């Protein structure tokens, strides 16, 4: 089968013939129909990281069709069924696995980073970490469940978003998904700050009331207060670079809440007194549970979510590597997807 293979930082992914996967017990093989490119993929291929082993096939935002079923799979896992899944290969027996939190399994292996993912014609999935999709969900929707789940999980981790003034720092796919769910869950007013014009403008399509270019908090704050009627009760940090948590503290109202969603693997500094004087609650969150996937699939099946505009480009293998590299520089894309069958 064809797959996009990582070799080393600085070298674009190459499209190669690799072995077809075979399913082990409790696994299925899917023909990948769509797989989104994520910021995590871009970061993982950069010099400083080192998590990726040469020869890895990435891709963790996938949807596809079952083509082969391994031993010991329940009877509803059969060829032709649509499926997506958490990008986890885990034991299936421990408490986190049994309760749909495979990322907390001591033996979790990340699919698409530490094990072959969806930038390929076929991939294997553990059925216990996967979700069967109704036929009414299309491939683009199916591949958007993972990035939407990141936002849903973050919003669910807030104490209560209803009636709140919300500020979201960053309008990348994560910030946009957070905005979407804040609206869905009943936030009163949503402001998004984002330096890229087209991304900022697209925030209103994701439920935001107001988009602002990012700037120095002292200058931006009066505009937020004017638009929202007061300082933000809840600030979602969706950028993930050092300095952003301190900025979120500056923006937050007295007794406010900060949810840190932007993934940052570098040291960061913060003046605790600034957060103490406001008696803030700061919560760090990551990824999602299986329940987030189930909820989104359920809403999509009932046509309750209008999200396909999140996908702003589809490419086949012929232009995939080029498209992947193009996302390293500022751009106005929300989500580009691979269609292994051709764009």
Interacting residue ranges for Zn ion, rule: CB under 5 A? 38, 40, 90-91, 94, 97, 105
Rounded to whole angstroms, how far apart are CA atoms 128 and 119? 21
CB of 98 to Zn ion, least distance (A): 8
**15 bridge partner residues:** 4
DSSP 8-state code for residue 206: G
Helix (H, G, I), strand (E, B) or coil at 67: strand
Q: Based on CB atoms, which residue is closest to Zn ion, 37 or 83?
A: 37
- Of 38 and 166, the one with the shorter C-beta distance to Zn ion is 38
Reduced to 3 states, what is the DSSP secondary structure of residue 25?
Answer: coil
Distance CA 86, CA 297 (A): 13
Decide whether 126 or 257 has the Cβ nearer to Zn ion.
126
User: Rounded to the nearest whole angstrom, what is the least distance from the CB of residue 95 to Zn ion in the complex?
Assistant: 8
Closest by CA to 181, choosing from 107, 261, 274, 125, is: 261
Rounded CA-CA distance 203/224 in Å is 15
Nearer to Zn ion, 38 or 208 (CB): 38
Q: CB-wise, 118 or 256, nearer to Zn ion?
A: 118
Which C-beta is closer to Zn ion: that of 129 or that of 202? Answer: 129
Compute the least distance from the CB of residue 246 to Zn ion, in Å: 25
Minimum distance of Zn ion from residue 316's CB (angstroms): 21
* Cβ-based nearer residue to Zn ion, 43 or 278: 43
Shortest distance (Å) from residue 48 CB to Zn ion: 18
Look at the alpha carbons of 24, 30, 31, 37 in this order and tell me if their dihedral is positive or negative.
negative
Residue count of the chain, please give it. 343
Per DSSP, 127 falls in state G
Cα 210 to chain center, whole Å? 22
Hey, CA dihedral for 32, 38, 44, 47, is it positive or negative? positive
Shortest Å, Cβ 112 to Zn ion: 8
Q: How far is the CB of 42 from Zn ion (least distance, A)?
A: 10
- Residue 293 phi, psi (nearest 5): -65, -45
> Looking at the DSSP assignment, which residues form a beta bridge with residue 4?
15
């Amino acid at each position: 089968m064809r797959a996009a293979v990582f070799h080393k930082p600085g070298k674009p992914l190459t499209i190669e013939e690799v072995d077809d996967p075979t399913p082990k017990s409790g696994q299925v093989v899917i023909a990948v129909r769509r797989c989104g490119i994520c910021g995590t993929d871009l970061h993982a291929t950069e010099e400083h990281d080192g998590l990726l082993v040469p020869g890895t096939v990435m891709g963790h935002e996938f949807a596809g069709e079952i083509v082969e079923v391994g031993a010991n799979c329940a009877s509803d896992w059969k060829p032709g069924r649509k499926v997506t899944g958490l990008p986890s290969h885990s034991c299936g027996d421990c408490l986190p696995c049994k309760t749909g939190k495979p990322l907390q399994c001591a033996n979790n292996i990340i699919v698409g980073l530490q094990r072959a993912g969806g930038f390929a014609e076929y991939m294997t999935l553990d059925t216990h970490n996967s979700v069967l999709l109704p036929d009414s969900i299309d491939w683009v929707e199916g591949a958007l469940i993972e990035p939407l789940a990141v936002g849903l999980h973050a919003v669910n981790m807030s104490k209560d978003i209803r009636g709140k003034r919300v500020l979201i720092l960053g309008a990348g796919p994560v910030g946009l998904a957070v905005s979407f769910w804040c609206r869905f869950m009943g936030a009163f007013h949503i402001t998004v700050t984002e330096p890229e014009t087209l991304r900022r403008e697209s925030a209103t399509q994701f439920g935001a009331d107001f988009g602002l270019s990012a700037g120095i908090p002292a200058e931006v704050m009066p505009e937020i207060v004017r638009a929202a009627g007061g300082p933000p009760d809840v600030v979602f940090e969706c950028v993930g670079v050092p300095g952003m948590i301190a900025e979120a503290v500056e923006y937050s109202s007295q007794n406010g809440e900060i949810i840190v969603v932007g993934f940052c693997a570098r040291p960061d500094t913060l003046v605790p007194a600034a957060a103490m004087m406001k008696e803030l609650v700061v919560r760090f969150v990551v990824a999602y549970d299986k329940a987030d996937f189930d909820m989104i699939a359920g809403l999509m099946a009932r046509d309750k979510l209008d999200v396909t505009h999140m996908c702003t480009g589809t490419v086949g293998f012929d232009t995939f590597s080029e498209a992947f590299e193009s996302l390293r520089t500022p751009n106005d894309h929300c989500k580009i997807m691979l269609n292994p069958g051709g764009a």
